[in-house]
Structure 1
Amino acid sequence: MVLGWSRRKNKNRNLNLQLVTPNQFICPVSLDLMKDPVTLSTGITYDRASIERWLEDGNFTCPVTNEILTSFDLVPNQSLRVLIQDWCVENRRFGIERIPTPRIPVTPSQVEEILLHLQASASRFDRYGFLQGVQRIKDWGSESERNKRCIVDNGTPGVLASAFCEFANDSVEENVSVLEEILNALNWMLPLQLEAQKILQSSDALRCLVWFLKNQDLSGKQNAIVALREILSSGDEQTLETMAEIEGTIELLAEFVNKRINPTITKASMAIIYYLVSSSYPSSEKVKLKFIGLGLISSLLEILIDSDRSLSEKTLGVFDSLCDIQKGRERAFSNALTVPVLVKKILRVSPSATDHCVSSIWKLCRYGSKDEEDEVEAALIEALQVGAFQKLLVVLQVGCGDETKEKATELLKLFNPYRGGLECIDSEFKNLKRSF
């Protein structure tokens, strides 16, 4: 096979030169010039990136010979790589750049060796030795995505999680630099393996992470809150109960959402709040009351006005859960943004978000007490004016889950007595009077 292109060497003479790439320099898979040639057990040489993708896709044969591979080892073809580099240098006049000498990828045995070093350092609380090992892992990971996968797949998250618990149990203040480096490393290993998640669900680890939220700078808070979101995403009720019982946790999460100091922190905090208020562990209702008392209802509505899809889904989920209890509905009724925002978000974000919107409106209009009859009636009328009736009809037409279908149908029945003579208006927010 010949690859080539033409390039004028002299405009006056109008001479054309053609560069021909030698066949042995071409990867049989990508058909591009090889940058890191490696040889399979069948003796065929490929570019490392191409053959790794081939193997990761579940193929067990050599692409050229179709033989079943007896080994998945990729042996660097140093001689061929040098020839390719020399050829690139010789043809610089054609615009060919010399390929850099590739770094040798980290191997599972190297990862295993460094993990043994980390375990030994953690067991004797050797902070300096442990930090050296973590830095080595970070350096490997920064070289390539392939290295990152090798590091994660060979159990590094679990070892780091165990070390985090050991150092946290010893003394958070004295080991803060080590703990911070572990969190830094774990953050680029997300999503965490189940083993690492379970280890970090310990009381010591959770308390340490809350300490970081209270006492560290913005970067430290961000690493801690992202780790907490990952840990709590499993939905383990005992872990959620432990988290809720740690002093200051609810107040910190509410503060992060109310003040919105950083987009990453806000999103992670919202996800954690969602896990805390949407599960049925023993103190879940008490947690909801705390969040409501800290002004979360108003903050949620403010966020919903201009938030992106991922944040809107969790925010609507939190709002829906807070409307489960009377105090939450009272706060929602008292905010002028509630009905227009909920109606506006129907069919605007995602099916899950629409479910939460319909559920929230249904709870507000269905569970009002006798003392709230006037508020419920006002909410029904306002919802009709901002287009809720038409949107619910569309929800039923395009399809939704059985629970949402039942709630939408019941809402339509509740709306019927108030439909006569009402005009639908645009549900924009700029002219609404806010409740704070």
Structure 2
Amino acid sequence: MAVTLEVTPTRKRRPLVVGHLDSPNISDTKLIRSLFFASQELSHMQPLRFILRRNSQSIIRKVKVLAAVFDELLRSHMVYSQSAQLCFEEMNIVMQRMKTLIEDCTRSSKLWLLLQIENVSFSFHELVTDLSTVLDILPVNDFNLSEDAEDLIVLLKKQCSDSIQFVDPRDDDLRRKVTDTIDGIKHQIVPDQSKLIGIFVDLGLLDSASLIEEIQRLEDETHDQIDERSRIAAASLIGLVRYANCVLYGPSTPSPHPDFRRHKSLSEANIPADFRCPITLELMRDPVVVSTGQTYDRESIDLWIKSGHNTCPKTGQVLEHTNLIPNSALKNLIVMWCRDQKIPFEIYGDGGVGSSTPCTEAVEFTRMMVSFLIDKLSVAEPNAVVFELRALAKSDSVARACIAEAGAIPKLVRYLGSDSPSLQINAVTAILNLSILEQNKTRIMETDGALNGVIEVLRSGATWEAKANAAATLFSLASISTYKRRLGRKVRVVTGLVDLAKQGPTSSKRDAFVAILNLAAERENVGRFVEAGVVQAAGDAFRELPEEAVSVVEAIVRKGGLMAVSAAFGLIRQLGEMMREGGDTTKESAAATLVTMCRKGGSELVAEMATIPGIERVIWEMIGTGTARGGRKAASLMRYLRRWAAGDTHETAATETQSIVVPTPSRIFNPVL
């Protein structure tokens, strides 16, 4: 949890307004009991270790004195004046703030606290000042306390009034060592290992596990910062800790069950409706606003406008102008959602939160770390080094660029054919993580043996995880249209993906279908997938992965010719069931697939659809309660059924684009079952 730091000048004590307490929320006894328990809880807290220790100890000692006073008050069963009640309530608030500050510091990054040491010290001093203010106006003489208790209050008042803001010299010296190390990186000065050890020992970061936890906390701090300067500072600290972890403790030993996997595919995530483009229904990469106030993905709306349209796709209003205004707020929300879902946001374009120009120190730390790891590949056990490169490539775009620029891709390719399942998984996943960066896609495609190595892992990898990550790598590479065509021409890619979709476990099938869907966007690839049996593979997965499998069939039927329609003929009944039982996206895809098949296949396909039990009710429900796109597709299906029932088998593409005429319920065709 981030510590809230507000840099403000030293101010006078905040006066309390003592007024009439109309309806106290709790009785005097309950109020004192609450104060006693709060002071007990706070006085039993452990002071911060390593940094800010004196500041936290000072507050805890003062609260221990209060706890003794509240203990005596609790046993006295007094009735207190309204001014005393107000003081007690204010004191309760101050103690809660003390507790929150100590807890926040405990959970926060130690290095981040160290750089903010003056601000945090001021926060501790401010709380002591507020406590002193309450004690000054507390009507102690009305409480009938023992002399010992009165002496404690007098002592506490003096301690609070004499308190000054201070930074422990030890903390200040440690901060200077850290900043000097980071400043040296700007001039490409390699940090001295003995000095690094001293810094992290003083911080209590004594092993690799504690450094990894520190990195995670720093990443949380980075996400919480709103100004560029703070994000740069946090990025520099992350670079320092990563470098220290690698240099001081060496490459990590891969766990047989690592706690991270590659990025999620979009099919695994439940994308919020507001994050989907109204045109493609896919996650928006670069949301922009048109003149009507509607938001679309830039690529989709740009293509719509360039196709000659001058209206808003969602509202139908004429566009006053074609200027596209970036929706930065929504883009940042999408970026944060991607982080929460563990989907690297770099996949969805540049910009947004965290996409600012990387700081020099972070880049230099990363370069030094990559250089260290590359050198280790020739002398150390390769699996540990490749695992470290895999983890580093997963972290951010700076690391991906540095790893590729250091020539790591050809070295990783050597391990794709390894007999060690763990080494093979780490190698292919490292290449997958590197491929997220746009310029690395070209590097991978142009590296000798890289593409063939990934394809071979897809076809005959040692584990399903390796095969799935190979499929995900092909999906990533296929985001560039020229590579989409190049990959689709390779029979081994097509058959490998289809075999994985047929035989793999659910997660591997999902990766295969997502990659197939991407490659099927190129019309010339569709025929090869049909010949490889993708339609049957998708049909078999309707129950297991309905959204992905139906989407694949829709794409194949839409882009393919009569051969694709013929291959999907046996799925007509299953598509009808998906319209009845699937989610909104699945229903839309199923209806769209049937519409395309009816348009291309003629009356025989409509007749087959008419034999689906209850199809009319399903269509009517979709027209009435489905999504806008689903309703349009369902209305088209009803029109096909109506014509077929009337014996009109003459269908053309022109009739498909005519305005929808919805039949009355009494004229719905009732098929013979």
For this structure pair, what is the TM-score category when the shorter chain's length is used for normalisation?
Answer: 0.5 to 0.7
Match in the other structure for 1:341:
577
Question: How far apart are 1:400 and its partner, in Å?
Answer: 1.9
1:359 equivalent to 2:592? Answer: yes
1:415 equivalent to 2:649? Answer: no
Preserved CA contact (<8 Å) 2:579 2:588: no
Q: In structure 2, how many angstroms separate the alpha carbons of the residues matched to 1:243 and 1:237?
A: 10
Distance 1:349 1:160, change over 3 A: farther
1:266 equivalent to 2:531? Answer: no
TM-score (norm 1): 0.63
Match of 1:24 among 42, 56, 67: 56
Question: How far apart are 1:360 and its partner, in Å?
Answer: 0.6
Q: Which runs of no fewer than 5 residues in structure 1 stay unpaired?
A: 8-16, 63-67, 76-105, 142-146, 426-436
Match in the other structure for 1:433:
none
1:314 equivalent to 2:548? Answer: yes
Matched residue type, 2:528:
V
Which SS does the other structure have where 1:387 is aligned? helix
Which SS does the other structure have where 2:396 is aligned? helix
Match in the other structure for 2:226:
59
Matched residue type, 1:387:
R
Question: How far apart are 1:320 and its partner, in Å?
Answer: 0.8
Question: How far apart are 1:129 and its partner, in Å?
Answer: 7.8
TM-score (norm 2): 0.43
Distance 1:74 1:29, change over 3 A: farther
Match in the other structure for 1:326:
562
Question: How far apart are 1:423 and its partner, in Å?
Answer: 7.5
Distance 1:3 1:193, change over 3 A: farther
Q: In structure 2, how many angstroms separate the alpha carbons of the residues matched to 1:374 and 1:69?
A: 63
Distance 1:321 1:184, change over 3 A: closer
Q: In structure 2, how many angstroms separate the alpha carbons of the residues matched to 1:153 and 1:129?
A: 26
Match of 1:44 among 114, 119, 122: 119
Preserved CA contact (<8 Å) 1:157 1:192: no
Alignment RMSD (CA, Å): 4.5
Q: In structure 2, how many angstroms separate the alpha carbons of the residues matched to 1:70 and 1:409?
A: 54
Match of 1:34 among 82, 106, 110: 106
Match of 2:535 among 294, 297, 306: 297
Match of 2:451 among 206, 213, 216: 206
Q: In structure 1, how many angstroms separate the alpha carbons of the residues matched to 2:614 and 2:635?
A: 14
Matched residue type, 2:56:
Q
Q: In structure 1, how many angstroms separate the alpha carbons of the residues matched to 2:224 and 2:672?
A: 54
Preserved CA contact (<8 Å) 2:428 2:470: yes
Question: How far apart are 1:238 and its partner, in Å?
Answer: 1.6
Matched residue type, 1:376:
V
Which SS does the other structure have where 1:278 is aligned? coil
Match of 1:389 among 619, 641, 646: 619
Match in the other structure for 1:276:
519
Q: What aligned pairs does 1:365-404 form with structure 2 within 5 A after superposition? A: 365-369=598-602, 373-382=603-612, 385=615, 387-394=617-624, 398-401=626-629
Preserved CA contact (<8 Å) 1:229 1:271: yes
Can you list the C-alpha shifts for 1:22-73, whole angstroms capped at 9, x where unaligned?
Answer: 56267865744615533225623499777764543333499xxxxx999657
Question: How far apart are 1:127 and its partner, in Å?
Answer: 7.6
Which SS does the other structure have where 2:628 is aligned? coil
Identity, in percent, stands at: 10
Larger radius of gyration between Structure 1 and Structure 2:
2
Distance 1:244 1:163, change over 3 A: farther
Match of 2:441 among 186, 194, 197: 197
Question: How far apart are 1:319 and its partner, in Å?
Answer: 0.4
Q: In structure 2, how many angstroms separate the alpha carbons of the residues matched to 1:69 and 1:319?
A: 45
Matched residue type, 2:670:
L
Which SS does the other structure have where 1:389 is aligned? helix
Matched residue type, 1:269:
A
Match in the other structure for 2:474:
228
Which SS does the other structure have where 1:44 is aligned? helix
Q: Which runs of no fewer than 5 residues in structure 2 stay unpaired?
A: 1-34, 48-54, 58-97, 122-202, 204-213, 239-360, 646-666
In the comparison of the two structures, how many residue pairs are matched? 347
Preserved CA contact (<8 Å) 1:277 1:287: no
Can you list the C-alpha shifts for 1:210-267, whole angstroms capped at 9, x where unaligned?
Answer: 11123321143233223223333x2x222122212334222222222222x3222111
Distance 1:168 1:287, change over 3 A: farther
Preserved CA contact (<8 Å) 1:207 1:246: no
Q: In structure 2, how many angstroms separate the alpha carbons of the residues matched to 1:127 and 1:215?
A: 29
Distance 1:190 1:202, change over 3 A: closer
Distance 1:393 1:70, change over 3 A: closer
Q: What aligned pairs does 1:148-187 form with structure 2 within 5 A after superposition? A: 151-156=395-400, 159=403, 163=407, 165-167=409-411, 173=417, 180-185=425-430
Which SS does the other structure have where 1:248 is aligned? helix
Moved more, 379-388 or 170-179: 170-179
Preserved CA contact (<8 Å) 2:468 2:512: no
Distance 1:331 1:341, change over 3 A: farther
Q: What aligned pairs does 1:78-89 form with structure 2 within 5 A after superposition? A: none
Can you list the C-alpha shifts for 1:100-150, whole angstroms capped at 9, x where unaligned?
Answer: xxxxxx97644321212455678xxx4858656435556xx5xxxxx887x
Which SS does the other structure have where 1:422 is aligned? coil
Question: How far apart are 1:377 and its partner, in Å?
Answer: 2.0
Can you list the C-alpha shifts for 1:395-426, whole angstroms capped at 9, x where unaligned?
Answer: 5xx5424xx6654333222223545562899x
Which SS does the other structure have where 1:361 is aligned? helix
Preserved CA contact (<8 Å) 1:274 1:317: yes
